[in-house]
Amino acid sequence: MTLAPWQSPLARALHRNRSLAHVRHVQLATVRQDGRPANRTVVFRGFLDNTNSLKFATDRRSEKADQIAFQNWGEVCWYFPKTREQFRFFGELILVDNEYPDPTLLKARKAQWHDLSDPGRSQFTWSHPKKPRAADDESFHLPPPEPTEPLPHFCLVLLNAIEVDHLELKGDPQNRYLYQRGAAETEWTVQEVNP
């Protein structure tokens, strides 16, 4: 598959900001079941092989998984402090849970589970997110789960952008480029717009 034209400036930003430990921390906005917005930090897990789909991981028991199941649109905001630039990825989200029908994506889910660190996998043994914390909860001190088989509530999340908005604050005055996807997944246009 052809790389989208925004892949090149994104790769450059990742490279120039690589010294920052949190460079892959981005903010994912979704919509709650009552139509109000939600927003939280998630970790960018790279691209699905040979595609332009951004990968993330989540827990099926989290509110964001329910939100995505209800309304599958999202916007990821990615700010790079060192180069003072922002990418916004607006598009459809795919929640790949353990019953997802596509075998290729199920395989990608398994691979993503394998790629997590032990502490990353351990989070999925913890008690239900956002429920009251019990002082003696043993779930937070279990050995890490096996890397070979994902726990049932582990989900891979994909974002397929239809619009990417790239803002460079360092320009004179600033530079802003709008990438928009056409009918075909590989068909992108880019336009310079006012910041």
Examine residue 173 and tell whether it contacts its own copies (CB under 8 A).
Answer: yes
Dihedral sign for Cα atoms in the order 166, 169, 170, 174: positive
Exposed/middle/buried for residue 31 (C-beta within 10 Å: 0-12, 13-18, 19+): middle
Examine residue 190 and tell whether it contacts its own copies (CB under 8 A).
Answer: no
The owner of tokens 């509530």 is 153
Q: Does residue 152 contact residue 160 with C-beta atoms inside 8 Å?
A: no
N residues, the chain: 195
Examine residue 51 and tell whether it contacts its own copies (CB under 8 A).
Answer: no
Nearer to its own copies, 10 or 108 (CB): 10
Nearer to its own copies, 130 or 143 (CB): 130
Nearer to its own copies, 77 or 105 (CB): 77
Could you tell me the smallest distance in angstroms from the CB atom of residue 172 to its own copies? Answer: 8
Q: How far is CA 16 from CA 35, 81, 167, 194, in A?
A: 37, 10, 16, 24
Q: Peptide bond preceding 173: is omega within 30 degrees of 0, i.e. cis?
A: yes
C-alpha angle 92/94/100, rounded to 5°?
A: 155
Secondary structure element (H or E) that encloses residue 179, with its range: strand 175-181
Candidates 126, 151, 180, 190; binder of its own copies (CB under 8 A) is 126
Examine residue 37 and tell whether it contacts its own copies (CB under 8 A).
Answer: yes
Could you tell me the smallest distance in angstroms from the CB atom of residue 127 to its own copies? Answer: 5
Examine residue 170 and tell whether it contacts its own copies (CB under 8 A).
Answer: no
Examine residue 103 and tell whether it contacts its own copies (CB under 8 A).
Answer: no
Q: What is the contact surface with its own copies in residues (CB under 8 A)?
A: 20-22, 25, 27-31, 35-41, 71, 73-77, 79, 81, 84, 86, 88, 90, 122-123, 126-133, 137, 140, 173, 176, 178, 191-195
